[in-house]
Chain A
Amino acid sequence: MLLVDDEVEFASTLAERLQIRGFDAKAVFCAEEALDMVRSEPPDVVLLDLKMPGMSGVEVLKTIKKISPSCAVILLTGHGSEQCAAEWAADGAADYAIKPSEIETLVAKIDRANEKRPT
């Protein structure tokens, strides 16, 4: 599982917490690195921050889905709305979560997304 967020402290800490919970979680801090990772070792689930410098989050989402369609992508955002959710789903997102989230909520979303993955 891949975590993509430019906030280093956030991504690394969350990765650690997910590891405690048994996920093979790795944190990367920019879109390029994330795409490289997806190409080389496609993860099952990706937690992707929308607001990052460089490529827009949505573009990264689309690229990931292109590279590895079976990848479930959960978007992380500061604020969401029903409209956005629909758009993101249309672009291939499996789910979205609002930062900061309870770890339990995140884990539930990850599990659900993983189950729904096309095999």
Chain B
Amino acid sequence: MKDLRMSFIGRIISSYTHEVKNYLAIIKETNGLMKDVVEIKKSRGLDEKQFLGFMGCIDEQVGRATAITDYLYRFAHRMEDDRVAVHINDLVDELVALMSRLAYRKRISFDKMLRGGLPTTILNPMLFHYLLFCLIEAKMLCLDKNGVISINTHFSDGYFCITLACEGGALQSSDTTKTSDTGEIGVVAKELGAVISDNGSETVIKVPAVAQVK
């Protein structure tokens, strides 16, 4: 069981790495191109607009790489403590950001609707990441190209509700047995204290809010 969790982390890190490498590649190419241009244009002046374009591009990539690296940093930090006060929205945000590339490969995109101002709760953040990862992965499996996975969070009656729904794309038959109690998802959910309900189109994770212990 623990091996699956390890491999999940591995996959997240791989996904991040590939993303960053892509940005780096672009930077490298743009850089190379600049070099070529400078070398070619020996005595004549440089095309300002062109070069600004280059730099802008590099800036953009650097920005993206920085952003995703920040997410990795936050993700990595989640593994340090197994009981800590967290914002559910932050956790969802992190995981979705880190899964973007995996989804992108299947031309699936995310639609986040995270209700603001939710209180914090105490749980095992890495485990929550893992649970969410498993459920999103399950959804990705039954979505074909150009699908959209929407994620909704809100808070009511002392429970955080995270709703996952698929829209668009060709739907293959979903494997609802994955949400059984004995499956990996069931075990993880139980460990978190969360309840998962699946009515075919929507999957809802209900996590009880745990108040901070002084």
Using a CB–CB cutoff of 8 Å, the interface residues on chain A facing chain B are 78-79, 100
Question: Do B73 and A79 touch across chains, with their CB atoms under 8 A apart?
Answer: yes
Question: Do B66 and A100 touch across chains, with their CB atoms under 8 A apart?
Answer: yes
Question: Do B70 and A100 touch across chains, with their CB atoms under 8 A apart?
Answer: no
Which residues does chain A contribute within 8 Å of B114, judged by CB atoms? none
Interface residues on chain B, size class: under 10
B53-66: contact bitstring with A at CB < 8 Å (1 yes, 0 no)?
Answer: 00000000010001
B28-68: contact bitstring with A at CB < 8 Å (1 yes, 0 no)?
Answer: 00000000000000000000000000000000001000100
B15-29: contact bitstring with A at CB < 8 Å (1 yes, 0 no)?
Answer: 000000000000000
Using a CB–CB cutoff of 8 Å, the interface residues on chain B facing chain A are 62, 66, 70, 73
For the complex of A and B, 3 pairs with smallest distance between CB atoms:
A79-B73, A100-B66, A100-B62
Question: Do B70 and A79 touch across chains, with their CB atoms under 8 A apart?
Answer: yes
Q: In this complex, what residue of A is CB-closest to B62?
A: A100
Which residues does chain B contribute within 8 Å of A79, judged by CB atoms? 70, 73
User: Roughly how many angstroms separate A79 CA and B66 CA in the complex, as a whole number?
Assistant: 10
Can you show 5 pairs from A to B with CB atoms below 8 A apart? Answer: A78-B73, A79-B70, A79-B73, A100-B62, A100-B66
Which residues does chain A contribute within 8 Å of B70, judged by CB atoms? 79
Which residues does chain A contribute within 8 Å of B62, judged by CB atoms? 100
Which residues does chain A contribute within 8 Å of B66, judged by CB atoms? 100
User: Roughly how many angstroms separate A86 CA and B73 CA in the complex, as a whole number?
Assistant: 21
